[in-house]
Amino acid sequence: MVNGAESYQCGGISASELDKKLSHLLIEQQEGQINELEAELQTTQSKLQEKEAELQALKVCVRRLTEFPLLDRSGAIEISL
């Protein structure tokens, strides 16, 4: 007689074989989830880089705008501190 775990059969498949198949299936699912998360991470990092570049461009714009003196309606230079 075979040990208790091996002797149990489900549709002609032993418990240890079912356990191996289940483990393999779980690993495949986890690998799929990891791949999806990695793809989402790359997309998010790409969006972050775009936003950082946009922020840098805006900072340059603000810096350039603040370099020019402001004029009031009469044409006199307005100094505000």
18-71 pLDDT, tens digit each: 999 999 999 999 999 999 999 999 999 999 999 999 999 999 999 888 887 766
For tokens 């699912």, the residue is 29
Q: What is the domain partition of the chain in residue ranges?
A: 8-78
pLDDT at 4 over 80: no
Neighbours of 5 (CB within 10 A): 10
Q: What's the whole-model pTM score?
A: 0.59
Cα gap 15→75, rounded to integer Å? 90
Residue 36 CA: distances (Å) to CA of 2, 19, 23, 45, 64: 43, 26, 20, 14, 42
Give yes or no for a contact between 51 and 43, defined as CB atoms under 8 angstroms apart: no
